[in-house]
Structures are given as structure tokens and as C-alpha cells.
Structure 1
């Protein structure tokens, strides 16, 4: 959006209207996981790391559709992996997609700054 002659992210502007000026080193995280949302009750100021950790979806090229879980055709099982601080942590191998997802979620809850 454009305001006062400058282009600004609408969600960032919404948060600042409700809470005051935002430190330029912080990101706006959508608690509702809906990027177009500008409701300040659905937004929080966090580090870039926390914002990335709070992602719920998998990458667009994911074949499992589950964040951090992939099928290993050679071993014929699901592999769960979590990334934190630029390092990939192997969570384990599982017979079902649901087990792999649950294990990845558990590890993320222990490692990440914010887990809502």
C-alpha cells in the first residue's frame, strides 16, 4: 500500500497503527497464517527467525504436502527433518506420514522461539 508518499506493507502499517513504531529489524508474523490479513489482533512483531519458524505449510514442491516430511523411495518410509539456525536435524524415519509429522512438530516445539 502507499501511505504518505511511501510504499509500505499493509500488515506492517496495520501493526504500527495499533502498537506504535516497529523496529526495522523485526518482522510481522501472522498468527492466523493468512498473509493478506491486516487485523492487528492476528499480527505480532518477531525476529525473522521466529517468523520463518512459525510457517505451517510445506514448500510448494513438496510431494508429501507436510512441512519437513518426505518419502524415501529407497528405504520405503517417511523421513522427518527440521531446520533450525541453518542446520538440518534428522528427526527419524517413520512408517506413516502422520507419525513423521507428529515427530517433526514435537522437535520444532522444543527448538523454536515461538510455537503458537
Structure 2
């Protein structure tokens, strides 16, 4: 059994309190320089990490264990893509493929929109959607914004809950 799986819900609740409304953990006990009642965790590339019994854990995985009493079967996905948003309503189980679909634009993306790229040979912005290892062509457009809007419209038609949409598309997106 891995050290991660060795942590139980009971042990977690002995050490930490989780607020499902805010997604934050606070310490129930004082340990070293950490005082009871203080916020638990540190930021690691957008994720909140919490060390328990010498093992580092992602806060969203601890939230799942705290609420559901079990470790997730596979991966966990942040619904709106905010790694630090650990409210239980914003976390869901996902396969690796589903989790990868809920990504934003890559850092090297020139359009600023996921799935939209410039076609210099044609002088147009192309919108595409990746699905099961294949690319679905949405269309070519005069502006990146038009391509983005068309891509979002197609994503909504596809009704894939794991596809990332702009934050304004979510009714419970954090401010």
C-alpha cells in the first residue's frame, strides 16, 4: 500500500478541518511552528500542497477523502480549471483523457484561446477541438475572437462536461 493511500479519513479529520464552501483546510492541532486554527497548505504551481505525517498531498485529493471517505479511483479534475479552488463542488473524478480536455491554452499559444491557431498560408484563424486523439475542424475565421466564439458554440453543442469553457459560462465560478 502506498504511503498516500495509508492516510485514512479518520486520521485526516483528526489533524485538519475542511470547509467545503471555501475549499480551505485549517489545522485542528498545533504541530511545531504551525498553530491550531491556522490555514493549512502552501502554493505549488497553483495547487495547494499539505504535508501530513511526512507525506505531501494535494489539497483537492484530501478534500475528496475528507468528504467521500475514500481516495479517488483515478484523477481529480478542477471543473473551472483553477488549481487552488478546492471547493468540493468544483472537484470531480475524471479519467486522464477527461482531465486533459479541461485545459486552457498552452503558454506558447499565439491567439490567447485554446483550440485557435493562425494559418499563415491562408491568412485565417482556425478553430479546432481535439477528441479521442483526433481533431474536429470547426472552421476558418477572419479573427481569433470569431474562431473562439465558434469553437465555444460547438463545444456547447457537444455537451462534454470536461471541456473547458470561459469562466463566464459557469454559474458558480469564483470571483
User: TM-score scaled to structure 1, two decimals?
Assistant: 0.81
> What do residues 57-114 of structure 1 show as CA deviations (whole Å, max 9, x unaligned)?
2100000010010111221111111111111222211112222112222333316353
CA RMSD of aligned residues (A): 2.1
Equivalent-residue separation in structure 2 for 1:94 and 1:4 (angstroms): 54
Give the paired residue count. 114
Shift of residue 7, structure 1, vs aligned partner: 2.5
Indicate whether 1:37 and 2:92 are aligned: no
Paired residues of 1:50 and 1:112 also in contact (CA < 8 A): no
| Contact 2:64-2:72 within 8 A present in 1 as well | no
Which shifted more, 67-76 or 31-40?
31-40
Aligned residue for 1:33, secondary structure, equals: coil
Counterparts of 1:8-87 in structure 2, within 5 Å, are: 8-25=57-74, 27-55=75-103, 57-87=104-134
**Cα distance in structure 2, aligned partners of 1:38 and 1:114:** 17
The answer (yes or no) to whether the contact 1:84–1:111 under 8 Å persists in 2 is: no
Alpha carbons 2:79, 2:162 under 8 Å: kept = no
In 2, distance between residues paired with 1:113 and 1:42? 12
Structure 1 unaligned segments of length 5 or more: list them.
none
For the 8 Å contact 2:61–2:76, the answer to whether it is kept is: yes
Unpaired runs of 5+ residues, structure 2, are 1-49, 164-169, 171-175
* Equivalent residue number for residue 4 of structure 1: 53
Secondary structure, counterpart of 2:63 in structure 1: helix
